[in-house]
Structure 1
């Protein structure tokens, strides 16, 4: 495993995106445990993209503009739904820690999975990224791709969890200010809209 692969992975994972926004929101609204659970969900959302790459389905997505557009706009729709849900749910970032009905770990994980699952750019990224570090002629190309994908997923979990735990560490200072919480809710909703817009106008 090369240093170039590790550095590229860290840069890609640490760059703020939908998963980071979701994990930060979980840390601020529900605390440290929820942020780690959200990081698990976002990491699991990588699995279908990894499998698509390894099995060659990514090649179909890469070649088929229709398949890519369908998945892309499904992702856009889900991001807009997340923005709407964040604005609508006044308890999404609750000031009173006892006011918000706790979300089950399953729901937190499912939202994280959907956020990454409905992101065709992740499949295309794997399709373009992994082959750069695998020799097509080597006998163990498939195990190597799986191993590299596993490292990418581990880095995703660690970085996202760190983002969330950091957000959770300042939660008490933030949640005591209702006006700040209101602006944060709008900010997260706006971030989902912006990320959805970016995905919508991004070509393959």
Structure 2
């Protein structure tokens, strides 16, 4: 099938990798708990959209540029790190409004949550290198349909990843009810998420190719 071998092993590998916590997971959890199901689902779909872009980049060979060009990798890494720190700072800025509710300065609408989720994923160069490193292991070197194989494997990974992200968003949004009427707890959660994003941004900036 398009020169793909050990397809179900790839599926199992993808599922395990999707279950591994990372900045995408943190973003979905933070938005879902802080702002509810609608924003959480938008965040999850944004992460998935980022994976679509990475799949297309891998299929077209653009991800190979990051693997071979230190300058390109550095630029994307710095931009991604700055963006994560920016999101973290936004989450750290909270204020308690009247009537015991919490207004998070980093609160966003569904479209912004989608866009931020997509950028969080796209601006992580390690995701691009992951696609480039994993997928070729399941494609025959002599296959004349490598682009199609990349796209099929990418679609598979995106499907399982999207399912997991949506489950995360739905589950985390239910936790939101615990924070209803607890503005200090919600504020603390937002600040903790913001601090973690800043740490992730700094770690990304300090990482080596």
Could you tell me the TM-score, scaled by structure 2's length? 0.88
**RMSD of aligned alpha carbons:** 2.0
Q: Distance in 2 between matches of 1:176 and 1:58?
A: 46
Q: Is the 8 A contact 2:46 2:113 kept in 1?
A: yes
Q: 2:57 aligns with which of 43, 52, 60?
A: 52
Show structure 2 runs of 5+ residues with no match: 1-5
Tell me the residue number matched to 2:41.
36
What is the count of residue pairs matched by the alignment?
200
Q: Distance in 1 between matches of 2:13 and 2:44?
A: 20
User: How far 1:78 sits from its partner (Å)?
Assistant: 0.2
Superposition map of 1:150-189 within 5 A: 150-189=155-194
User: How far 1:139 sits from its partner (Å)?
Assistant: 2.9
Show structure 1 runs of 5+ residues with no match: none
Q: Distance in 1 between matches of 2:77 and 2:166?
A: 26
User: How far 1:60 sits from its partner (Å)?
Assistant: 1.5
Q: Distance in 1 between matches of 2:95 and 2:153?
A: 41
User: How far 1:89 sits from its partner (Å)?
Assistant: 4.1
User: How far 1:70 sits from its partner (Å)?
Assistant: 0.5
Mapped pair 1:134 → 2:162: no
Q: Distance in 1 between matches of 2:142 and 2:94?
A: 53
Tell me the residue number matched to 2:125.
120
Q: 1:107 aligns with which of 108, 112, 123?
A: 112
Q: 1:82 aligns with which of 84, 87, 93?
A: 87
More deviation, 171-180/117-126: 171-180
SS of corresponding position for 2:95: coil
Q: Distance in 1 between matches of 2:133 and 2:204?
A: 18
Could you tell me the TM-score, scaled by structure 1's length? 0.90
Q: Is the 8 A contact 2:92 2:195 kept in 1?
A: no
SS of corresponding position for 1:150: helix
SS of corresponding position for 2:172: helix
Deviations 1:76-95 (A, max 9, x none): 0000000111112437xxx7
Q: Is the 8 A contact 2:81 2:201 kept in 1?
A: yes
Tell me the residue number matched to 2:73.
68
